[in-house]
Structure 1
Amino acid sequence: MQGNKKKPLSLISVVIPCHNDPNVANAVKSAVNQTYVNKEIIVVNDGSDDKDTLKAISSVRDKIDILIDQENKGQSVARNNGIKRSSGSYILNLDSDDYFENSFCEKAVMVFERDQDVKIVTCKVNRTYHGQDIGIFEPAGGDIKNFLFANAAVGSSMFRKKDWETTGGYEENLPILGFEDWEFYIQLLKNGGHAYVIPELLFHYQIRENSTTQRIRHLRQEKFKYIILKHKDLYQKNFEELVGNLFERIEKESGDKKKIENEITYRLGKALLKPFQTFRSIIRK
């Protein structure tokens, strides 16, 4: 009977930006191995000139539905260009050095289909450093309130393509380098909706010493200022929370400086006392 026909599965577009990272082959295999059947895999080669990376892409070329080669323009441009070429109702961003458990896409789509208020689906994360597990992280998720002062979802998450189109996509201006995910999620949620966190460990994130996050860590306050000014109306609506957060940051920075000063004073004092301690130990013999 016609009434028993199953609804066709929505298409998921998995977008994998890559710049000089041979791990991209594993990311592609992670997308291929998803139990969700209806998907396309898009790799954006963002100006890679590393032979191992090019070899890795070539090794999985038959598994890639769309391969985009571009000059090195950064992750935001690579993601936007990949999404522009996509045909899926849902977008899953996947960084080239990370991977999902096989059931993530299937479980994420189920969340979207049962709750139209969900704008982002993320999950618990296993973090590794130099191949060693360093702990499990669970993002906060929630509505825009949880995203005002920190990112409450993982960069590699799923969202609807129509929502990406409404926001205008990822910020491509250089001043926001490193905070693209956070700023994009603010765009997604500022007019309603929330991020849902699947309470399972379904994502594996590799921390690298030369990653963008590590390189721009000392510019965090400058990036936060950029976000506040770009979304001035949002922070004006939450002015008291903003003031409270800024004072918390000042107090923390002051405490960190004091701690460093105390450590320096302690080390200096210990160094100055060492000759006297050595002399005292000699005369006691």
Structure 2
Amino acid sequence: MSLPQKDAPSVSVIIPVYNRQDTAIASIRSVLAQSFTDFELIVVDDGSSPPFELPADISGDARIRLLRQQENGGAGAARNAGARAARGEWLAWLDSDDEWLPYKLERQLGFIAANGIGTKRTAIASGFEYRFSDGRREQRIPVPSDDPSMFFSGCWFCPGSTVMLGREAFVEVGAYDQNMMRLEDVDWFARFALEGGELAVVPEPLAIIHLGSRPEFARVKAAGDYLVNKYRSDPRLDRSVRRHLFAYTELEYAASRLKTRKQMIRGAWNLVHSWMLVPRMHLQVCKFWQ
């Protein structure tokens, strides 16, 4: 990855897109509506069929670059492609079914300046609002953390749509694992924590996260098993961190299985097993929100 170029934008916003024409356009428009304007927007079409197209009224915006991947490689591969093309000092992710409030970048950059945060060790998230398919809304303010156990317990801060981090941090931790079609965020931020990284949080909702249906169990199981096997013998993980990882994957399996009657008994066992690994008084493996 090259260093930021002279006269490069401060922020490179990266949106991976796969077969989400309408929602991705809404995501893009939420970036273009930002009060902070010194950014470039890199949209990575991850093998969509038909190919993703920008609407005519914004296709000529010089801040937008559309990259095309010939085959679908997953969100991690698309983010890697966007990061390689990025010119800004800061990287900001946005999933193609989510949106930002107009002052999201302004608030995060103000927080960075006010707290003297550098580009190497800290990722900056924000609060967000869940929007459910039945119309319900719930706001969440994530807790900040530098504890690896937290990062091996889930992505409580919706990193695909709230996080801003320095290009230096991304280079040091390395690219997303392109073998993972799900849970790639958990893996990347787990590695980030093991490298001494920490999460800071702007304590106000700045993103809208649209929650849809859960993926099929087979996809969740494949990603969870890959994650467990990747870190099962990693000497950097102590027993407590490893148990948090196992408890988290069991919770993912339970959530996917409990949505179907045929898998409910096995899903209930996954849930019990998760609680046995990390006893707690709440559903999530850790207390994630303020």
Question: TM-score if structure 2 supplies the norm length?
Answer: 0.72
* Residue number in structure 1 paired with 2:275: none
Q: Which residue type is aligned with residue 37 of structure 2?
A: V
Distance 1:24 1:221, change over 3 A: closer
Distance 1:141 1:235, change over 3 A: farther
- Return the offset for 1:75: 1.5
Shift >6 Å, 4+ stretches = 247-253, 258-261
Q: Tell whether the 8 Å contact from 1:141 to 1:153 is kept in structure 2 after alignment.
A: no
1:48-107 CA-to-partner distances (Å, cap 9, x unmatched) read: 2248x53x5444212352111222322211111111111011111111121111111122
Q: Distance in 2 between matches of 1:50 and 1:68?
A: 14
Listed as ranges, the matches of 1:1-285 within 5 Å are: 11-21=10-20, 22-50=22-50, 53-54=52-53, 56-63=54-61, 64-73=63-72, 74-113=74-113, 114-116=116-118, 119-130=122-133, 132-143=135-146, 144-154=148-158, 155-156=160-161, 157-173=163-179, 176-209=180-213, 214-217=214-217, 220=220, 222-232=222-232, 237-243=237-243, 246=246, 257=265
Distance 1:178 1:149, change over 3 A: same
Q: Tell whether the 8 Å contact from 1:25 to 1:60 is kept in structure 2 after alignment.
A: no
Number of equivalenced pairs? 245
Q: Distance in 2 between matches of 1:79 and 1:244?
A: 26
- Return the offset for 1:134: 3.4
Q: Tell whether the 8 Å contact from 1:129 to 1:206 is kept in structure 2 after alignment.
A: yes
- Return the offset for 1:202: 0.8
SS of equivalent to 2:92: strand
Structure ID, larger Rg: 1
Distance 1:86 1:245, change over 3 A: closer
SS of equivalent to 1:61: coil
Distance 1:170 1:244, change over 3 A: closer
Higher helix share: 1
- Return the offset for 1:13: 0.4
Runs of 5+ consecutive residues of structure 1 not aligned to the other structure: 1-7, 262-285
Q: Which residue type is aligned with residue 172 of structure 2?
A: T
Q: Tell whether the 8 Å contact from 1:121 to 1:198 is kept in structure 2 after alignment.
A: yes
- Return the offset for 1:152: 3.4
1:102-160 CA-to-partner distances (Å, cap 9, x unmatched) read: 11112222333413375211112211133723322333331123112222321222111
Q: Distance in 2 between matches of 1:121 and 1:141?
A: 9
Q: Tell whether the 8 Å contact from 1:25 to 1:59 is kept in structure 2 after alignment.
A: no
SS of equivalent to 1:126: strand
State the superposition RMSD in angstroms: 3.3
- Return the offset for 1:179: 0.4
Q: Distance in 1 between matches of 2:10 and 2:247?
A: 45
Distance 1:115 1:9, change over 3 A: farther
Task: Give the stretch that moved more between structures: 115-124 or 214-223.
Answer: 214-223
Distance 1:47 1:245, change over 3 A: closer
- Return the offset for 1:247: 7.0
Q: Tell whether the 8 Å contact from 2:90 to 2:166 is kept in structure 1 after alignment.
A: yes
Distance 1:46 1:57, change over 3 A: farther
Q: Which residue type is aligned with residue 168 of structure 2?
A: K
Distance 1:111 1:218, change over 3 A: farther
